Amino acid sequence: MQTRKLGKSDLEVSAVGLGCMGMSFAFPPYPEKKEMISLIRKSVELGVTFFDTAEAYGPFVNEELIGEALAPFREHVVIATKFGFKFSSDGKMIGQDSRPEHIREVAEASLKRLKTDRIDLFYQHRVDTNVPIEDVAGTVKDLIKEGKVKHFGLSEAGVKTIRKAHAVQPVTALQSEYSLWWRRPEEEVIPALEELGIGLVPFSPLGKGFLTGKIDENTKFDKTDFRNIVPRFTEENRKANRGLIELLDKIAEQKKATSAQIALAWLLAQKPWIVPIPGTTKLHRLEENIGAADITLTSEDLNQINSALEKIKLVGDRYPEELEKRTGL
Mean pLDDT of 255-274: 97
Q: What share of the chain is helix, strand, coil (3-state, %, to 5)?
A: 45, 15, 40
Q: Decide if 115 contacts 66 (C-beta within 8 A).
A: no
- The residue type found at 191 is P
Number of domains in the chain: 1
Q: Can you tell me the distance from the alpha carbon of 149 to that of 117, in angstroms, rounded to the nearest whole number?
A: 9
Instruction: Indicate which CATH number applies to the domain containing 69.
Output: 3.20.20.100
Read off the pTM: 0.97
Q: Does 67 reside within a domain?
A: yes
Q: Which residues are catalytic?
A: 57
Q: Does 329 reside within a domain?
A: no
Residue 326 has pLDDT above 90, yes or no: no
Q: Compute φ and ψ for 44, nearest 5 degrees.
A: -65, -45
Q: Does 127 reside within a domain?
A: yes
Give pLDDT, residue 328: 86
pLDDT band at 180 (very low <50, low <70, confident <90, very high): very high
Residue 264 exposed, middle or buried by CB count within 10 Å (0-12, 13-18, 19+): buried
Print the domain residue range for 284. 3-324
Q: Can you tell me the distance from the alpha carbon of 49 to that of 63, in angstroms, rounded to the nearest whole number?
A: 16
Give pLDDT, residue 99: 98
Q: What is the mean pLDDT of the chain?
A: 96
Q: Decide if 261 contacts 292 (C-beta within 8 A).
A: yes
Q: Compute φ and ψ for 204, nearest 5 degrees.
A: 50, 45
- For 188-228, the pLDDT digits (tens) are 999 999 999 999 999 999 999 999 999 999 999 999 999 99
Comparing 76-80, 192-196, 320-324, the range with the smallest average pLDDT is 320-324
Q: Can you tell me the distance from the alpha carbon of 271 to that of 109, in angstroms, rounded to the nearest whole number?
A: 35
Write the CB contacts of 321 (distance below 8 Å, at least 6 apart in sequence): none
Positive/negative CA dihedral, 10, 12, 18, 24: negative
Mean pLDDT of 307-329: 91
- For 107-164, the pLDDT digits (tens) are 999 999 999 999 999 999 999 999 999 999 999 999 999 999 999 999 999 999 999 9
pLDDT band at 329 (very low <50, low <70, confident <90, very high): confident
Residue 60: HSE in the Cβ half-sphere, 13 Å Cα cutoff: 13
Mean pLDDT of 78-104: 96
Residue 70: HSE in the Cβ half-sphere, 13 Å Cα cutoff: 29
SS3 85: strand
Give pLDDT, residue 214: 94
What residues pair up with 200 in beta bridges, in sequence order? 174, 274
